[in-house]
Structure 1
Amino acid sequence: MTDAPVEPVNETPGAVSCAWTVRDTPIGPLLLAATGEGLVNVVFHARGHVLDQALARLSGRFEDTSPLDGAAPAETPPSSPAAHLDSVGRELTGYFDGAAVPFTVPLDWSLTGGFHERVLRELAESVPYGTTVGYQDLAVRVGEPGAARAVGVAMGANPLPVVVPCHRVLESSGGIGGFGGGLETKRTLLTLEGVLPEPLF
């Protein structure tokens, strides 16, 4: 099994504004960050030092990073960070309420690139709600059949979890595999989507 070559992430032009908010969900607080291009980052367990580290990374990447307090005003342009955060907030509410529909919020892929971005785009476009894919299968889909291990690395580096559903990627043996948000979070998401049975107690 070979690894795909490591490629640099996309370069983000200077003076890009990024807005963020923290949203409480059934899997804990999520940091949601967006630029005018779209949703750019989702971070699990967004409290304390995890939140501080995530915000420091965003501040190092974008010219202006600021919190969004409350809902975006009605006159907010549809391509603004605030509008994208409003959109993903509504879609996450529906998702956790059991709506089996795809996320439609625009995505900003600037925190990934190269092979990782190819794999994540394929995942977002071709593995719908309630389905799963193996690391090897995903490697084949992007034309790198020897890169199953590199697919696993790409899942671990996913800047947009939940929305780009790395929780739907399983081991070829059917094992649950790893997950950046923790295995309990992965099980919760797969149970929500009906892939795993509800726990008995």
Structure 2
Amino acid sequence: MILPVVAYGDPVLRKVCQKIDKDYPNLETLIANMRETMYNASGVGLAAPQIGKAIRLFVIDASPFADDEDISEKDRIVLKDFNKVFINAQILEEEGDEWVFNEGCLSIPDVREDVFRQPKIKIEYQDENFDKHTEVLDGLAARVFQHEYDHIEGILFTDKLSSLKKRLIKKKLENISKGKIRADYRMRFPNAKKGK
């Protein structure tokens, strides 16, 4: 089932999310719905807060990036199969010189900005069977993970912009929260006027 994506301005996007265990109700269905919602919106990741749930869960399928000519062959190989469920994820280490990449977010349609992130991270998470994994990610896989991880920490990519950039997009963000935007997927707007 395709769920509405929560728009910028909703308080759930600012919550540090709660851990879950294997008894979380209807988890398998929730994961399937999140994947369907992500694919419907042409996203490469979707975190639970983006569908209104303040839990430490996100899904990633970065395979669309594997077709990008501008990325390295190494990134292409990794991204082709980077399709996972992340539960109770933690970043254990970050290293390297920050690098810039243009990011967007399903909760903030039509806003894309350059964001600096570290290129290499060591992570720990549980998969949909609650098996524990420790992995090292780098390049675009690390970036996509960090973007989704920020969501479960209550952080948006716009928080990482300079104060000048933030001022330049302020009106656009206000319009998104009011539903004054066209998105080609279902959304839920926190400050939309009723009856419109």
Q: Same fold (TM over 0.5)?
A: no
Higher RCO (CA < 8 A, seq sep 6+):
2
| TM-score normalised by the chain length of structure 1 | 0.25
Normalized per residue, the structure richer in strand is 2
| TM-score normalised by the chain length of structure 2 | 0.26
